[in-house]
Amino acid sequence: MSDDVSHETMLQGADDDVRQGDVDATGPGVGAPVAERDVSHETSAADDSVVVDELDGSSILAEVLGDALPQLTVFHDKLMREGEPRGLIGPRDVPIVWERHILNSAAIVPFVAQATRGERFKTVADVGSGGGFPGLVAAACLPDHRFTLIEPMERRVEWLNECVREMGLDNVTVVRARSEEVIARIRKREGLYPFAVVTCRAVAPMTKLSGWTLPLLKSHGRLVALKGRSAQAEIDKAAKEISKRGGVRPRVVEAEVGPGLEPTHVVLVDKR
Q: Which residues are annotated as a binding site?
A: 128, 133, 179-180, 201
Residue pair 167/195 in contact by the 8 Å Cβ criterion: no
Residues that constitute the known binding site for S-adenosyl-L-methionine: 128, 133, 179-180, 201
Q: Tell me the H-state helices in the chain.
A: 45-48, 59-65, 69-78, 97, 104-106, 109-115, 135-141, 154-167, 179-187, 206-213, 231-237, 239-244
What pairing do the DSSP bridges indicate for beta strands 217-227 and 264-271? antiparallel
What does the DSSP 8-state code read for residue 120? S
Spatial neighbors of 222 by CB under 8 A, at least 6 apart, are 1, 111, 115, 196, 197, 198, 268, 269, 270, 271
Spatial neighbors of 180 by CB under 8 A, at least 6 apart, are 212
- Residue 152, exposed/middle/buried by CB under 10 A (0-12, 13-18, 19+)? middle
Please tell me the distance from the alpha carbon of residue 226 to that of residue 267, in angstroms, as a whole number.
Answer: 6
DSSP notation for 172-211:
EEEEES-HHHHHHHHHTTSS---EEEEEEES-S-HHHHHH
